[in-house]
Structure 1
Amino acid sequence: MTITETPLPSKQDQTNNNSSSNDTVKRQMILIIDFGSQYSELIARRIRETEVYSEVISYRTSAEKLKELNPKGIILSGGPNSVYDEYAPQCDPEIWSLGIPVLGVCYGMQLMVKQLGGGVERAKRGEYGKASLFIDDPTDLLTNVESGSTMWMSHGDSCTQLPEGFSILAHTENTPCAAIAEHQKKLFGVQFHPEVIHSEYGFALIRNFVYHICGCEPTWTTQTFLEQSIAEIRKTVGDKRVLLALSGGVDSSTLAFLLHEAIGDQLTCMFIDQGFMRKGEPERLVELFNDQFHINVEYVNGRDRFLAQIEGVTDPEEKRRKIGHEFIKVFEEESTRLGPFDYLAQGTLYPDVIESADTNVDPKTGERVAVKIKSHHNVGGLPKNLRFKLVEPLRKLFKDEVRKVGRAIGLPEEIVSRHPFPGPGLAIRILGEVTSDKLNILRDADFVVRDEIKKAGMYHDFWQAFAVLLPVKSVGVMGDKRTYAYPIVLRLITSEDGMTADWARPPYDLLETISNRIVNEVKGVNRVVYDITSKPPGTIEWE
């Protein structure tokens, strides 16, 4: 998405112009048919980076429905299956006759080959990781893609016979058909993953498909989204009141600014302080919204009751469940006190929509095509029997798009660029039982981490940087006296999107400064260790 300098329209302009701008975006759309790939969402994000709208849909979507949606192009995602598995997901074979350009990625390419009469077999040698791509036909899909450049492979099957009318565009050392095309029908396939950052010219390939092959125009911009959303909020809400549960994160904060721009004082934000936020954050949040931006925030102090709910709880999933349940209870109580409200605003994002849509359940086996690693860190959803109607203006956005919208609408950079923070907060960065004393220790240690990386000018070099408190103690010596205290784990990681992550390599001087400050300033800690585990095999959070 591109941020433009065009001023926000008036309420009357919004109402008059909404339908035309909405139609423009709909005409410029690429659909991603999901076969269970862990990268399906990433494909959609890459398309949107070209300023063209994209959506992820189920592989069970019929060709008739696809024609009705009228996309400019279709991308078939990868997936964990073999096309010859008994319950391998299949797309409607009529897709090939719609006259819409199609790009198959990995499994998507293999399915295209199989359904159009070609051959796919288990490769004598699988191909995983980096591979050099050698160009045989530098036109159309591979325009400006350098021969010999690196592409990311992850496949055990390979195309052994092309369908009629197809030709080879590129090969690798182990894969003769690494990229293929039926130019007349605009059907293309690649055995590699152009959407991942490891593929050097992957984005160039995606742009070729979007612009050169599908003929799209860059209509998906931040300004377009703002104009549409503000008009839709005003039309939906009218003169009614809206309640928003504000967490202080970029999603709910952007939503608060967007709603306030649209409906002003009809918005009330509720901030529930469950006692698990970082040092100074609750006070700073209330100060910013109430005093600086004049957005009404009702502060609810729930620290004691949340801590009581997880007393003695050591299982991380049980912590999440109890915190989520208590959040709902407090929210219902306080909304009744502050109400009545007609609408509830939620910061639902597009990845949440994709995950909850259940698009990847095989109709025969009842199993998901893709495996879910663990439950999400954020506090669970609100109950279905709440008396509100929902307003979810961000439900079509990815996280990076939300940040762009936040900046465009005036959200402070300290919130826009805030590191991701789990809904249960510090409660899942304290392994084992959570107590008031442990929260104070971790809060102080975490503050040192953030303070020092900001002083070093490195805050934006990390995807996340935080401290973890372990439920063990070790022997130390301080002032010629024996100590028996907790260790703090430093977790500094780099990532593009949080799906994969690597441990950061900060200067030793920075690590030394953080360690010295924590040991000297945080009572109850005598040891600091550094986590050098990537994701996978680990996760970013410890619980």
Structure 2
Amino acid sequence: MAEKIIILDFGSQVTQLIARRVRELQVYCEIHPYNHIPTIDSSVKGIILSGSPCSVRDEDSPRVDLSLFGELPILGICYGAQLLAHQGGGSVQASQHREYGRAHLTGTKDSILWDEISNSSQVWMSHGDTIMELPSQYEIIGSTESVKVAAFAHTSKPIFGIQFHPEVTHSTEGSIILRNFVVKVCDCTQDWTSDSFVETTVANLKEKLGQDKVVLGLSGGVDSSVAAVLLHRAIGKNLYCIFVDNGLLRKDEFEQVLESYHSLGLNVKGVDSKQRFYDALAGLSDPELKRKAIGKTFIDVFDHEAHAIEGVAWLGQGTIYPDVIESVSVKGPSATIKSHHNVGGLPDFMKLKVVEPLNTLFKDEVRKVGKTLGIPQEILGRHPFPGPGLAIRILGDITPEKVDILQKVDAIFINGLKSEGLYDQVWQAGAILLPIHSVGVMGDERTYEQVVALRAVSSLDGMTADWCHLPYEFLGKISNEIINKVKGVNRVVYDISSKPPATIEWE
């Protein structure tokens, strides 16, 4: 049984970062809501308690019964540390001022957590409460200039609390502290690699699926492509892939991607359903209505094609770990920013069991697995592309004419990024067709044509993103080329909004 670390989520916005840092240590971990604790068996090597926007002083703040974890090592981070102190009988009080930002940690007592940590190490504070008094069974092991109890440890058990966030990059040696806990305290072996993942997953898929047939909808993106190759390695010809042209793909993408899939040896059927999607979208401007119309049409098309294959028992999906995490709320339903196209979209009438070989991986891990599987870099290095395609990059209603304009603009932008060596420096890029016209002059004539916005962001996982500082010369060249070559566009703007507060897509 593979060893793992369990991270209990109390609602922090950076809980996923803890998991990413642990995974970077080649140790498998899982995030679970504090109120849905998984079975604690012999595979669990340690517990990490996340931060939270709540205060332990509030009556309805999230709690957990620490006795459930027996003698397992525990690391409480920020709220998690306050919870350890509070539930142990210590005192947690509101700070006189919010402790937020950089601080310098000094180890006041030798601890395994401080192995290879420099004195006065920079850490990141973000809390409104302060631990004023520790329970008798704990002792202080670290302080900062303004926080006396910045880190503490149990006197006889492998239980630690730290008042700062080691998972963020502002804590310059935070990854070493996490390594000391995960590897030295929890005794994890650091053998969770992309090679081991492929070997284990293929063996599990063979056992799970046997001789059953699986149908998988391909999108041309990294996730579905890696899922397809993993499944193909396990069950070969019993995997049936369907690639639907919804008329909302990038220019020439359907033909190019279909060819690349055939070169991987996949059994793929391409389905031209452009008109069906255009008909379903006719007259719709609201982004949620567009997403739902696309989702329903895709399911109808996919269901028809799946039923043409005799004896299919499973639906393969490229769901990845952030999709799973975001579909589970810590404290009841969360606000809907936009409907998700991966989780929960399978209608009951399809009567298929679901297999999701990537649902424990983050995006960067999916790419590593893809490289191990020998998938070409042109597929693995592709920018993320939204499930609804260009429909949510065309603000307002959708027409084939608008799609044609945006495809041409997008192709100039993306090809320009590639030719200038900028593509791999950008996490995601695209063009947006705005529902406005602007006055322009071409030759001696007045024009009144459409405006397009270019968008390029840098990110690790899409949870947060910064706009890319592309060279002015490049932007000027691309703008000129778009206006000269794409009939119907006379103005180009560049989006310099980061996420948050803006989202990456406009709809």
With normalisation by structure 1, the TM-score equals: 0.89
In the TM superposition, what are the counterparts of 1:207-222 in structure 2 within 5 Å? Answer: 207-222=179-194
Alignment match, 2:269:
298
Distance 1:499 1:137, change over 3 A: farther
Is residue 2:150 matched to residue 1:175?
no
Deviation at 1:129, TM superposition (A): 3.4
Alignment partner of 1:333 out of 285, 297, 304? 304
Provide, for residues 177-207 of structure 1, a one-character-per-residue CA deviation record: whole Å limited to 9, x for no partner: 2222225311111222211223221211111
Deviation at 1:110, TM superposition (A): 0.9
Alignment match, 2:138:
166
Alignment partner of 2:293 out of 322, 334, 338? 322
Residues 106 and 193, structure 1, Cα contact 8 Å, conserved in 2 = yes
Alignment match, 2:47:
74
Provide, for residues 323-369 of structure 1, a one-character-per-residue CA deviation record: whole Å limited to 9, x for no partner: 111111111111112333122211122223333345x13xxxxx35x
SS at match of 2:446: strand
Provide, for residues 36-72 of structure 1, a one-character-per-residue CA deviation record: whole Å limited to 9, x for no partner: 122222212211111111011231356xx65435511
Distance 1:489 1:265, change over 3 A: same
**Distance in 1 (alpha carbons) for counterparts of 2:438 and 2:118:** 55
Alignment match, 1:206:
178
SS at match of 1:472: strand
Residues 169 and 181, structure 1, Cα contact 8 Å, conserved in 2 = yes
Alignment match, 1:224:
196
Residues 150 and 199, structure 1, Cα contact 8 Å, conserved in 2 = yes
Q: Which amino acid aligns with 1:233?
A: L
Deviation at 1:106, TM superposition (A): 1.2
Alignment match, 2:421:
457
Alignment match, 1:539:
503
Is residue 2:53 matched to residue 1:89?
no
In the TM superposition, what are the counterparts of 1:439-518 in structure 2 within 5 Å? Answer: 439-518=403-482
Q: Which amino acid aligns with 1:492?
A: A
Alignment partner of 1:420 out of 365, 381, 384? 384
SS at match of 2:41: helix
**Distance in 2 (alpha carbons) for counterparts of 1:522 and 1:264:** 44
Is residue 2:358 matched to residue 1:394?
yes
Is residue 2:368 matched to residue 1:404?
yes
Distance 1:198 1:517, change over 3 A: farther
Residues 138 and 145, structure 1, Cα contact 8 Å, conserved in 2 = no
Alignment partner of 1:106 out of 74, 78, 88? 78
**Distance in 1 (alpha carbons) for counterparts of 2:100 and 2:433:** 37
**Distance in 1 (alpha carbons) for counterparts of 2:73 and 2:51:** 17
Alignment match, 2:209:
237
Is residue 2:71 matched to residue 1:128?
no
Distance 1:69 1:88, change over 3 A: farther
Q: Which moved more, 1:375-384 or 1:501-510?
A: 375-384
Alignment partner of 1:55 out of 16, 24, 30? 30
CA root-mean-square deviation? 1.9
Residues 43 and 195, structure 1, Cα contact 8 Å, conserved in 2 = yes
**Distance in 2 (alpha carbons) for counterparts of 1:80 and 1:69:** 32
In the TM superposition, what are the counterparts of 1:377-388 in structure 2 within 5 Å? Answer: 381-388=345-352
Q: Which amino acid aligns with 1:323?
A: I
Residues 132 and 149, structure 1, Cα contact 8 Å, conserved in 2 = yes
Distance 1:230 1:332, change over 3 A: same
**Distance in 2 (alpha carbons) for counterparts of 1:172 and 1:70:** 36
Is residue 2:31 matched to residue 1:31?
no
Provide, for residues 89-141 of structure 1, a one-character-per-residue CA deviation record: whole Å limited to 9, x for no partner: 10013147x21111111111111110011111111111233333344346311
Provide, for residues 208-250 of structure 1, a one-character-per-residue CA deviation record: whole Å limited to 9, x for no partner: 1111111111121112111111112222222222211111111
**Distance in 1 (alpha carbons) for counterparts of 2:397 and 2:429:** 22
Q: Which amino acid aligns with 2:152?
A: I
SS at match of 2:44: coil
Residues 324 and 380, structure 1, Cα contact 8 Å, conserved in 2 = no
Alignment partner of 1:437 out of 378, 396, 401? 401
**Distance in 2 (alpha carbons) for counterparts of 1:61 and 1:68:** 15
Residues 377 and 422, structure 1, Cα contact 8 Å, conserved in 2 = no
Q: Which amino acid aligns with 2:133?
A: Q
Alignment match, 2:321:
350
**Distance in 2 (alpha carbons) for counterparts of 1:161 and 1:372:** 40
**Distance in 2 (alpha carbons) for counterparts of 1:112 and 1:171:** 17
Residues 407 and 416, structure 1, Cα contact 8 Å, conserved in 2 = yes
Q: Which amino acid aligns with 1:31?
A: I
Residues 8 and 32, structure 2, Cα contact 8 Å, conserved in 1 = yes
Alignment match, 2:164:
192
More relative contact order, 1 or 2 (CA 8 Å, 6+ apart): 1
**Distance in 2 (alpha carbons) for counterparts of 1:93 and 1:72:** 15
Provide, for residues 400-452 of structure 1, a one-character-per-residue CA deviation record: whole Å limited to 9, x for no partner: 11111111111111111111111001110111112111111111111111111
SS at match of 1:111: helix
**Distance in 2 (alpha carbons) for counterparts of 1:379 and 1:114:** 37
Residues 245 and 270, structure 1, Cα contact 8 Å, conserved in 2 = yes
Distance 1:376 1:137, change over 3 A: farther
Query: Can you give the 5+ residue segments of structure 1 that lack an aligned partner in the other structure?
Result: 1-22, 362-366
Residues 437 and 450, structure 2, Cα contact 8 Å, conserved in 1 = yes
Distance 1:496 1:152, change over 3 A: farther
Provide, for residues 125-169 of structure 1, a one-character-per-residue CA deviation record: whole Å limited to 9, x for no partner: 112333333443463112223344432322111111112132333
